[in-house]
Amino acid sequence: MPNHHIKPILKTAGIVLALCAYVAGAWFFSRSTPYYNITNMSGADRISYEKARVLSIDYQDVGPDKTYRQMQTGTQTATIRILTGEYKGQAEKIKNGLNYDSNYLLSPGEDIIVSVNTAASGKTINIFLYSPDRGPWLYILIGLFVLSLCAIGGRKGFRSVIAILFTLTSVVFVFIPLLYRGASPAAAALAFAGMTAVVTLLLIGGWKVKTAAAILGTVIGVAFSAGVLRLFEYLASLSGYNMSEYDTLLVISGHSGMRVDQLLFASVIISSLGAVMDIAISVASSVNEVSSSDPLAGAGRLFRSGIRVGRDMMGTMANTLILAFVGGSLNMLILIYAYRMNYFQIINSNTIAIEIMQAFSGSLAVVFTVPLVSLTAAKLLTISSCRRNGVPALPELPSPPGAKEPVAAK
């Protein structure tokens, strides 16, 4: 059929068009000039970060530290060749101190990043080791992830990569600029959560009823957790003003109109979104499986099966959020333990209170997403399966012989 050929072309064109619109919009939207020059230098003085290669180690006196034996401290003198920027190609000598603030043992052939700072006279140049050149390794790790995702996940894996790309780019090019320009962080976070849920779940779940159920469940789940969060933010007197960088953000807000007070809300919504989407699509999929193996299963049965699957998952998923919090604040937890800090002091500190708020309101959203998605999936699937089968949407009807497979199954 000719239709068969035109459809994919239209679809592709549509996708390409949407993509172009997205890229153009993001580019236009995210343009901004730096708020101000944070280095504050005057005249023709300048600093840049450049790549360099260690040619040789000319002097080395490095050994176990006197106090912390497991750490290597001391000095190295290295000859390096600068590979980029103003002094590209030049060989220079640098002194590398291995101490508590900077601790990298250099070896010949290694690539490093140096800060190159020139005074206006050109007579004095300070070249200091900034870090090893980590970029390539990070790209390799990302590459491995993408490759593996595609290889093991197949077409779905590739779609997941696109979904991740979309999420990342919309954070950087749309969400952050929105916040910076003074959009309400709460509204922006909810809109962003909705958009991400729609795109990600459509890409991964496909254009299907279960996807619609998952999206609906995610959006309602996030909205629900937003309500809870709002309430407890108010009760516990927490807001963006209690976050660690608020002082600087406040100064910037004076210029850009950013709403610092609502930033905490936005950050909590974003950090729980992943887990909520995760449980939403899982529950929707399993309800869909039940529905496809038993097309005439009633909404009640589908709902119960969704809840059963969800029960298994909500525990581990809530754990995911809480473990993410533990992982993120591991050092702080060790310190609290080491110093035997006072309970009132710990539980009421801004950081801990925010972390707990974040972990548990997110987990609450996960828990409530299970019945929400089960319900929407059960309703939507029974309706659509009945419509496909030409049967009125009534629960618990005996299945007619020779009923067609429902939508989701190929």
248 binds other proteins (CB under 8 A): yes
Is the CB of residue 35 less than 8 Å from the CB of residue 252? yes
**What are the tokens at 112?**
């490093």
Residue from 7, 11, 88, 311 in contact with other proteins (CB under 8 A): 88
Angstrom distance (rounded) from CA 147 to CA 143? 6
Question: Considering only CA atoms, which of 78, 108, 75 is closest in space to residue 93?
Answer: 78
Sort 213 into a burial class: Cβ within 10 Å, 0-12 / 13-18 / 19+. buried
Q: What is the phi/psi pair of residue 296, to 5°?
A: -100, 15
Residue from 83, 113, 176, 195 in contact with other proteins (CB under 8 A): 83
27 binds other proteins (CB under 8 A): no
- Which region, judged by CB under 8 A, interacts with other proteins, from 71-79, 257-265, 380-388, 401-409? 71-79
341 binds other proteins (CB under 8 A): yes
DSSP 274-289: HHHHHHHHHHHHHHHH
Angstrom distance (rounded) from CA 232 to CA 344? 18
CB of 121 to other proteins, least distance (A): 7
Q: Residues 360-399: x/- map of binding to other proteins (CB under 8 A)? A: ----------------------------------------
Q: What is the phi/psi pair of residue 40, to 5°?
A: 65, 20
Is the CB of residue 178 less than 8 Å from the CB of residue 258? no
Residue from 147, 165, 347, 394 in contact with other proteins (CB under 8 A): 147
Residue with Cβ nearer other proteins (260 or 372) = 260
10 binds other proteins (CB under 8 A): no
3-state secondary structure of 131: strand
- Which region, judged by CB under 8 A, interacts with other proteins, from 21-29, 150-158, 262-270, 281-289? 150-158
330 binds other proteins (CB under 8 A): no
Residue with Cβ nearer other proteins (124 or 316) = 124
- Which region, judged by CB under 8 A, interacts with other proteins, from 29-37, 189-197, 269-277, 318-326? 29-37
